[in-house]
Amino acid sequence: MRLFLISWSGKEIGMIEIAKRLQESGHEIVYWVCDFGKEADYKTFPGTIFHDHYEAIAGKPAHGVNAEEFPSVGRDVIQQFYGTESVVLTMMNKRLGHLAINERKHLYYHIVQYWRGVFDKYNPDAILFLSAPHAIYDYVIYALAKSRNVKTLVVEVSVVNDRLLLYEDFKEGHPLLKPQAWKNQSGKFSVANLSEDLRDYYSKHRKLSQGPEDISDFREATYKEINVFLEGRFSAAHTFRERMRLIASSAKDLSLPKKAISFFINRIGPNMKKEYLSVQSSPDFSRNFVYVPLHTQPEQNTVTQGDVFVDQLLMLEILAAALPKDWLIYVKEHPFQWLPRGPAFFNDRPRGYYKSIVALKNARIMPIGTNTFELIHYAKTVAAVTGTAAWEAVMRSKPALLFGHVWFQNSPGVFRVDSAESCRRAFAEIEAWRGFDETELIKFLVAFDKASFRGYTDQEYAACSDLSREDNISNFLRVIYEQL
């Protein structure tokens, strides 16, 4: 098959080796977008078009591809992909936030023009994404593939041990996890039906989630592995490397002096952190409340998987409109929101963002140090776009409201909502909540066991796994071959 590899990088963990073995087995690597092109051995892939990830974001063509021969898009194409355009313009907040709306739209038109031409010229049979598309160009590729019935395979990290999923549609998720699939499984179900790693995961979470007295133990046991990941992703060394890369790119485009001045002004004057602290209040656990942990942004879990709820204020406004009488909304910012880029206001957290939250009916902002497991325990329900906190609630036999698309969206205890009316219906059921049958959760986990595979997609996640590099390669290849 003729394959496109999108954002497919990670030599240390075996991603380049996977491409080699796919080629050796008869598949043709036609086009490859990679974070760092130097990772790949060009001599090993003599017929492959290589495209740098950051140049693709900027709308620049791959070396050797003449974009001038590709026809411009017209009204018909623009109208066909209006939904894609809306998502992509928001995605531009991350690296192209300085562009005005008309500049963003025109860049988007050029990106669509380029990739339509690439599809026409190189005719892929399947496209492999190492994550849900969230980097502008890859979302366009995904939309074009769907419109042309080209097979797409997307990897999702579950954050359940080192379990990954590979499926065709990130909105629909894995077919084995759809309600009609996992609910109709036959036979008797118990923890013994799970693989050893999931048995341990289930037992640990159920045992340590019985009450607030276990919160400190639960935090230590649950996040021992994840902390390894976070220390790598937000370590001083990683932050230094990212800032050096930013300085180099800013020096190249002559924006360094302007950014340096803004950097210092944003720490002296008003900023996100100061505004947050000015409106926070302590929780009252005797009240009925829905806990809403905000997602760090910009990231794929909202900009792609959240769909329209990349606007988390919209989610909060819907919740406030549907909230039962005398209930409160407890909102807490993600503890890493202020770390990578600093506390300066930006597109996803503009001036007045937190003030807008507390202006909503019965909404309160919690101190960022408030224990999230304690909030989950005392909450009547947890609401999130796609966040792990919603899954933590389910593991505590507590209902969760989910606005976006994520692997556990069809789990027992999850209410999928997207409007004030659907939230009202969910709240009505939650007020009469008596829990769900634990067998149903085990049944869902058995389906997840069959649907998922063990592996990792970057070095930070590799640090949380005991799999060898060769195991990771073999597991990836097995599921890719099955899908292809």
Max CA distance (Å), the chain: 67
What is the residue-wise DSSP string for 422-442?
HHHHHHHHHHT-----HHHHH
- pLDDT score, position 211: 57
All structural domains of the chain, each given as residue ranges with its CATH number in brackets, are 2-157 (3.40.50), 179-448 (3.40.50.2000)
Band (pLDDT 50/70/90 cuts) for residue 237 is low
Q: What is the mean pLDDT of residues 21-41?
A: 88
d(CA 452, CA 330): 33
**Lowest pLDDT segment from 245-249, 312-316, 348-352:** 245-249
- pLDDT score, position 264: 58
Task: List beta partners, residue 415.
Answer: 401
Query: What ranges make up the beta strands (E) of 37-89?
Result: 49-52
- pLDDT score, position 243: 62
- pLDDT score, position 224: 42
Cα dihedral 107, 110, 115, 121 in deg (nearest 10) = -160
> Has residue 297 got a pLDDT over 80?
yes
- Give tens-digit pLDDT for 126-159: 999 999 999 999 999 999 999 999 999 999 999 8
CB 266 within 8 A of CB 335: no
Band (pLDDT 50/70/90 cuts) for residue 89 is very high
Band (pLDDT 50/70/90 cuts) for residue 436 is confident
- pLDDT score, position 384: 98
Q: What is the mean pLDDT of residues 313-340?
A: 93
126-161: string of b/e by CB count within 10 Å (b at 16+)? bbbbbbbbbbbbbbbbbbbbeeeebebbbbbbbebb
Band (pLDDT 50/70/90 cuts) for residue 228 is very low
Band (pLDDT 50/70/90 cuts) for residue 69 is very high
Band (pLDDT 50/70/90 cuts) for residue 35 is confident
Q: What is the mean pLDDT of residues 71-86?
A: 97
- pLDDT score, position 219: 46
CB 382 within 8 A of CB 393: yes
Q: How is residue 225 written in tokens?
A: 């592995």
Band (pLDDT 50/70/90 cuts) for residue 124 is very high
